[in-house]
Structure 1
Amino acid sequence: MRATLNSWLFKQVDNSALVAFRIIFGLLLACEAFGSIATGMVRRQFIEPEFTFTFIGFEFLEPLPGNWMYVFYSVMGVAGLMVMVGYKYRIAITYYAITWTYVYLLQKSSYNNHCYLLMLLNYIMIFLPAHRSVSVDSTIDPSIKREHMSRGIYVFIIGLIWIVYAYATVAKFYPDWLDGSFPRYLMSTRGKNWDILQYEWAHEAIKYFGLTFDLLIVPFLLWKRTRWIAVAASIFFHLFNSVVFKIGIFPYMALSFLFFFFSVQKVHQWFLWKKPFYDKGEIIVPKYRNVILAAGSIFLVVMLLLPLRHWTIKDDVFWTEEGHRLSWRMMLRSRTGRATFIVQNKDTGDRSIVNLSNYLSSKQERSVQSKPDFMWQFAQKLKQEYKAKGEDIAVYIDAQVGINGRRPSQFTDPTVDIAATEWDQFKHHEWILPSPGYDRPKPPSK
């Protein structure tokens, strides 16, 4: 059994797919960094706001002062280019992984699963020999040059991709996707430039295509007879998302995964034909084999288990948001809300309503009025601010939230002092009222 596993996972294959992925991945890293500056994202997320909403537990993180975040992102962009050309690869990809983790944890107002996946891929790429061919590093130091890699790298990357799509599939099995109401609502937010997306047939097509794509894309890519169908579907799906939803580099990063589904001969022939092709099929078992297998297995098991945590938490994740993040729950819901924050002096009993716009950007305000962890964090922020002025306060939140275009329902218990509660990532918070369910009126189709 051990010998069979060794011969299968550690059989050497041509590394053209990994090298090609590194080149595209590095380019996308650079585009993400420089694009964040060019589009004003850095200014809106880190420079203009009075403070940022970090992931809970990372409140010690703060943006660099003044305009230094522009410099920070510029250096990230340079690191991305270094990854692309394979110059000081390990240093560059490690730097990008750490700095991306910093900005990822620093603000969650713009959180999506794509940012999470990008962080994971950065750390994975640190340990992969992606710089050993077609790189500046291998030109400067020919001793590191290799034209092969272990087949297990294919297995690991495809395994991660399959997990992402599998959970995206499972998440779509809920009433608002299955009856088409969420695709209908989502398309209604695209504006007049997308009139074709306002028809009922378009909503039905998006519903069925989205579910079928997530369910079958990896098996169809793995099976040679359906591979080109899957490639065409991938190109359409991801370019549609890029054009309609403008979600940055993710569609192109997802397309770059296609390198790992074609035969090594095809990838070499199409993209890196000048590179020597490896076809010896040697079996090279590294001395630290057990460490590699243990680390890879643990990582994939964590990826399998982490998205399940919301099933252990009371009530519906679509309502409570508890367990939503890090779970590959992509483009499934839209939240709107209105929240009144009431501060009460515990000594005098005096009450006042907080003007959210005095503290928050418009994007932060939308999150604070609809998402419970933002509500809790802002309550803690108010408590700390008043404590600095010598006042002991309670913070009450009267919030109504609507999901997927429904009329808002009472979300919080307005009698609970939210500032006095604790936040637990793996438990339900009783100040969040029970879900009203899915049988409330939905917006009509246009």
Structure 2
Amino acid sequence: MKPHLFQQIDNSPLIIFRIFFGFLLACETIGAILTGWVKENFIDVQFTFNHIGMDWLQPLPGYGMYFYFIAMGILGLLVMLGYKYRWTLGAFTIMWAGVYFMQKTSYNNHYYLLVLVCIIMWFLPANTYASLDAKQNPNIKSLTMPAWCSWVMIAQVAIVYFFATIAKFYPDWLDGTFTKNLLDRSVKNETLHDFFTQKWFYLFIAYAGIAFDLLIVPLLLFKKTRTWAFIASLIFHIFNSITLQIGIFPYFALSFAVFFYPPEKMRSIFFKNKPQVTTIRETGKDYKSTLYYFFIPYLIVQLLLPVRHHFIKGDVFWTEEGHRLSWRMMLRTRNGFTRYKVVDKKTNEIIVYNINKKLTHKQFNSMCTKPDMIWQFAQRIKKEFKEVGRDVAVYANTSAGVNGAPMKKLIDPDVDLGEAKWNYFFHNDWILLHEDEQ
């Protein structure tokens, strides 16, 4: 009989996950410096496209962001070692959330997942074994944890994969258009490129992606299929790591497997000298309060956020409204252009405005087809002229295409975006719908 949610089980899965997790946090942050990601997104820019409502959140001046990321790397190692766990993980969570909300030019779903897992881990007793905290304070040392600690992690992973599956049921995925474009763009080796862009292969990748996202969690939950599912997961994520070069995410995703195996199995593999848990007892009320008053509401929110785009007018693939925070991962490419027209309201003079002096090449390409970023830059133009005493109207001439489709008008060119307000919860009428006559 499986243990009750509030009974104590061997905590080996949580402990080894903390060690993996801390190491990956360090790899992500130090790697961001070594690969030039920090330089490209925080050093070479005049400003960043932050999440709307967080205009105050901008990079540290000079080379400050290098020190910021080095500090996060050190904090990640301290989490791995279990030193001052609540403080070090709490500090990392705040700093990484700052990075996440500070820029969206290089938006990636795993940046969001890192924030969520950091929050989850902060509430869990992950420093009670194989940690410096437990060594310095034996009173906190424990061989067990509440059974729900594993189930919370499994629930989070299941939510990610479930919504990733649902999102793939759209024409450009089902006919292989997106996977063909993705492999065509990502694979540099000529021999592999010719192989990967054959129709049978990119269609296989498309449907294998659906099958993997849909079945991996159920197959990991059952003993008879667990090991085969883990092997499939290993192949899937290593393939993605090599072909797509998406940082730590494939290894991060693999690390969750420790929660699907029996705790005793994890103990026998990773902590051979750890005493075996022989008795199971129910936890105290403090653990129940954490589950009831934090994790259950948290998981409800996680189930609601990904469906919000269904309540927003228009196709999310086109408008992008409701796209983020919904596990719509690696689903589409966008291309297009944006030109701004700046008009002095007093004189009706059309002012020439050079975007290229304000944005890096990467920022320009990202901004050109994303309505929220187009609106944000219009607001910056408005503010820039206001600071020199000029009241201007800002119009955007934007055309965009999704997955290589013919381009259509994205933004109403007759709307002054400098005066337009951003609607956080519903459709912004100045974003033209894909089905509108153009």
TM over 0.5: yes
1:175 aligns to 2:171 (yes or no) = yes
1:364-386 Cα offsets, whole Å, 9 max, x none, are 10122110000000000000000
Determine the C-alpha separation between the residues in 2 that align with 1:192 and 1:380. 39
2:37 aligns with one of 38, 41, 52: 41
Opposite residue 298 of structure 1, the aligned amino acid is P
Determine the C-alpha separation between the residues in 2 that align with 1:29 and 1:290. 29
1:164 aligns to 2:160 (yes or no) = yes
Where in structure 2 are the equivalents of 1:180-199 lying within 5 Å? 180-193=176-189, 194-195=192-193, 196-199=195-198
Partner of 2:356: 357
SS in 2 for 1:189: helix
Opposite residue 87 of structure 1, the aligned amino acid is Y
Partner of 1:403: 402
The number of residues matched between the two structures is: 433
Determine the C-alpha separation between the residues in 2 that align with 1:265 and 1:292. 23
SS in 1 for 2:4: helix
Opposite residue 118 of structure 2, the aligned amino acid is N
Opposite residue 120 of structure 2, the aligned amino acid is I
1:137 aligns to 2:133 (yes or no) = yes
Where in structure 2 are the equivalents of 1:210-225 lying within 5 Å? 210-225=209-224
1:128 aligns to 2:124 (yes or no) = yes
Partner of 1:24: 20
Check whether the contact 1:14–1:279 (CA below 8 A) recurs between aligned residues.
Answer: no
Q: Return 145-154 or 277-286, whichever deviates more.
A: 277-286
Partner of 2:433: 434
Opposite residue 371 of structure 2, the aligned amino acid is P
Opposite residue 88 of structure 2, the aligned amino acid is A
* Runs (4+) off by over 4 Å: none
TM-score, length basis structure 1: 0.95
Opposite residue 59 of structure 2, the aligned amino acid is P
Structure 2, unmatched stretches of 5+, are none
Q: Return 76-85 or 428-437, whichever deviates more.
A: 428-437
Where in structure 2 are the equivalents of 1:99-138 lying within 5 Å? 99-138=95-134
SS in 1 for 2:226: helix
Check whether the contact 1:340–1:354 (CA below 8 A) recurs between aligned residues.
Answer: no
Partner of 1:440: none
1:86 aligns to 2:82 (yes or no) = yes
Determine the C-alpha separation between the residues in 2 that align with 1:150 and 1:284. 7
Opposite residue 10 of structure 2, the aligned amino acid is D
1:269-288 Cα offsets, whole Å, 9 max, x none, are 11121222223111123246
Determine the C-alpha separation between the residues in 2 that align with 1:371 and 1:377. 10
SS in 2 for 1:165: helix
Check whether the contact 1:323–1:425 (CA below 8 A) recurs between aligned residues.
Answer: no
**Superposed displacement of residue 154, structure 1:** 1.2
Where in structure 2 are the equivalents of 1:287-306 lying within 5 Å? 287=286, 289-306=288-305
Check whether the contact 2:340–2:397 (CA below 8 A) recurs between aligned residues.
Answer: yes
Where in structure 2 are the equivalents of 1:47-58 lying within 5 Å? 47-58=43-54
**Superposed displacement of residue 68, structure 1:** 1.3
Opposite residue 184 of structure 1, the aligned amino acid is K
Partner of 1:236: 235
TM-score, length basis structure 2: 0.96
**Superposed displacement of residue 436, structure 1:** 4.4
Determine the C-alpha separation between the residues in 1 that align with 2:430 and 2:350. 20
1:148 aligns to 2:144 (yes or no) = yes
Check whether the contact 2:12–2:266 (CA below 8 A) recurs between aligned residues.
Answer: yes
Opposite residue 201 of structure 1, the aligned amino acid is W
Partner of 1:247: 246
Structure 1, unmatched stretches of 5+, are 438-446
SS in 2 for 1:149: strand
Check whether the contact 1:134–1:275 (CA below 8 A) recurs between aligned residues.
Answer: no
Opposite residue 55 of structure 2, the aligned amino acid is E
Determine the C-alpha separation between the residues in 1 that align with 2:434 and 2:415. 18
Partner of 2:342: 343
Determine the C-alpha separation between the residues in 2 that align with 1:16 and 1:215. 27
Partner of 1:200: 199
Partner of 2:328: 329
Partner of 1:441: none
Opposite residue 367 of structure 1, the aligned amino acid is S
Determine the C-alpha separation between the residues in 2 that align with 1:407 and 1:183. 18
1:23-81 Cα offsets, whole Å, 9 max, x none, are 00000000111111111111111111011110000001121111111111111100000
**Superposed displacement of residue 187, structure 1:** 1.3
1:421 aligns to 2:415 (yes or no) = no
Alpha carbon RMSD of aligned pairs, Å?
A: 1.5
Determine the C-alpha separation between the residues in 2 that align with 1:179 and 1:436. 21
Name the % identity: 47
Opposite residue 67 of structure 1, the aligned amino acid is Y
1:61 aligns with one of 43, 57, 64: 57
Opposite residue 395 of structure 1, the aligned amino acid is V
Determine the C-alpha separation between the residues in 2 that align with 1:271 and 1:429. 52
**Superposed displacement of residue 191, structure 1:** 4.1
1:213-242 Cα offsets, whole Å, 9 max, x none, are 000000000011111121011101111111
Determine the C-alpha separation between the residues in 2 that align with 1:261 and 1:248. 24
Q: Return 396-405 or 265-274, whichever deviates more.
A: 265-274
Partner of 1:443: none
Check whether the contact 2:146–2:287 (CA below 8 A) recurs between aligned residues.
Answer: no
Determine the C-alpha separation between the residues in 2 that align with 1:170 and 1:279. 42
Q: Return 388-397 or 284-293, whichever deviates more.
A: 284-293
Partner of 1:412: 411
